[in-house]
């Protein structure tokens, strides 16, 4: 099976975008996202049409599904606009966590992330839902955090798993963060994670539920704003290249809970 794809990223959080004609499986997604044998990415965004609009079918790099991806929505919107599939701003995009609105701005794309839901505390961290679950820790230095393995968490509190983020203060209304995403491992950026960190940092600094904060991730800079109704994530979203890929019999995918038998993979044929 040969299919076309586009590669994009938001502050280094990278995705492979395909259309709805591509029949995804966990094995194929893991193979596509493999950085040595496949196209490479933190996840796959499949463009689907539902109820007259667009739906972002998001898969983590290990082949699991996720409710929402903040950087993914911004890259998805960029793709729809630049490919001519959609016009006008704002653009409504369906996700498993509900509809998100994307606004095209001169320096990037801003997304209405919805109202954060404060879930309390777990294992010494602040639990926040942005449509998907997050556990946030404030630390003295994010560089000292070991994210080579998945952080421990309370599986009864987070039965579907959780994204774990760590942040440190870098100045007034300014933090640095690192994140371990469930299903992908440490990534250069996480949009919902940055939003959750922004919410936690605003609460920690002012005790108020509203405000604005700059969030530096390893892949760049994002801005999080929280008002009385919702939260906003703004930053760059870039399309890098497009090409074709062939599905081949291949044994290199590393997807948890999948049998180690040969399974589909992809070899990119990049058009320059």
The pLDDT of residue 221 is 98
The pLDDT of residue 259 is 31
Distance CA 260, CA 254 (A): 8
Q: Residue 214: is it exposed, middle or buried by C-beta count within 10 angstroms (0-12/13-18/19+)? A: middle
Q: Do domains 2-105+237-270 and 115-229 have the same CATH topology?
A: yes
CATH, domain range 115-229: 3.10.310.10
Alpha carbon separation from 267 to 21, 33, 130, 247, 264 (Å, rounded): 18, 11, 34, 7, 10
DSSP lists the bridge partners of residue 98 as: 95
Q: Which CATH superfamily is domain 2-105+237-270 in?
A: Diaminopimelate Epimerase; Chain A, domain 1 (3.10.310.10)
The pLDDT of residue 253 is 44
Q: Decide: 232 and 110 in contact? Cβ < 8 Å.
A: yes
The pLDDT of residue 248 is 52
Distance CA 221, CA 137 (A): 19
Q: Decide: 163 and 190 in contact? Cβ < 8 Å.
A: yes
Q: Which residues of 87-118 are buried (b: 16+ CB within 10 A; e: fewer)?
A: eeeebebbbebeebbbbeeeebbbbbbbbbee
Candidates 214, 219, 224, 211; CA nearest to 171 is 214
The strand pair at 133-138 and 163-171 is best described as parallel
pLDDT in tens, the chain (272 residues): 789 999 999 999 999 999 999 999 999 999 999 999 899 999 999 999 998 899 999 999 999 999 999 999 999 999 999 999 999 999 999 999 999 999 999 889 999 999 999 999 999 999 999 999 999 999 999 999 999 999 999 999 999 999 999 999 999 999 999 999 999 999 999 999 999 999 999 999 988 889 999 999 999 999 999 999 999 999 999 999 999 988 654 444 444 333 332 223 332 333 32
Distance CA 227, CA 157 (A): 27
The pLDDT of residue 172 is 94
SS3 79: helix
Residues that are catalytic:
69, 190
Annotated domain spans of the chain: 2-105+237-270, 115-229
């Amino acid at each position: 099976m040969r299919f076309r794809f586009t590669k994009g990223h938001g502050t280094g959080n990278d995705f492979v975008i395909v259309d709805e004609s591509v029949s995804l499986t966990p094995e194929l997604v893991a193979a596509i996202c493999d950085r040595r044998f496949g196209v490479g990415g933190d996840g796959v965004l499949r463009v689907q049409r539902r109820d007259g609009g667009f739906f972002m079918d998001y898969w983590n790099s290990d082949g699991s599904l996720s409710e929402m991806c903040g950087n993914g929505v911004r890259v998805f919107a960029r793709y729809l606009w630049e490919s001519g599939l959609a016009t006008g701003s704002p653009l409504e995009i369906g996700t498993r966590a509900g509809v998100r609105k994307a606004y095209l701005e001169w320096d990037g794309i801003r997304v209405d992330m919805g109202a954060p839901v404060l879930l309390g505390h777990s294992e010494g961290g602040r639990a926040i839902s942005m449509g998907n679950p997050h556990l946030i820790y404030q630390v003295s230095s994010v560089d000292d955090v070991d994210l080579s393995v998945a952080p421990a968490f309370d599986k009864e509190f987070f039965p579907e798993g959780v994204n774990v983020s760590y942040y440190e203060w870098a100045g007034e209304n300014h933090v640095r963060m690192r994140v371990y995403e469930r299903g992908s491992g440490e990534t250069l950026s996480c949009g919902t994670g940055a939003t959750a960190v922004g919410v936690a940092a605003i609460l920690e600094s002012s005790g108020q539920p509203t405000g604005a904060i700059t969030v530096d991730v390893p892949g760049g800079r994002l801005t999080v704003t929280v008002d009385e109704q919702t939260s906003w994530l703004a930053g760059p979203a870039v399309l890098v290249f497009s090409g074709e890929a062939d599905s081949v019999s291949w044994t290199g995918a590393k997807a948890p809970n999948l049998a180690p038998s040969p399974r589909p993979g992809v070899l990119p044929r990049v058009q320059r």
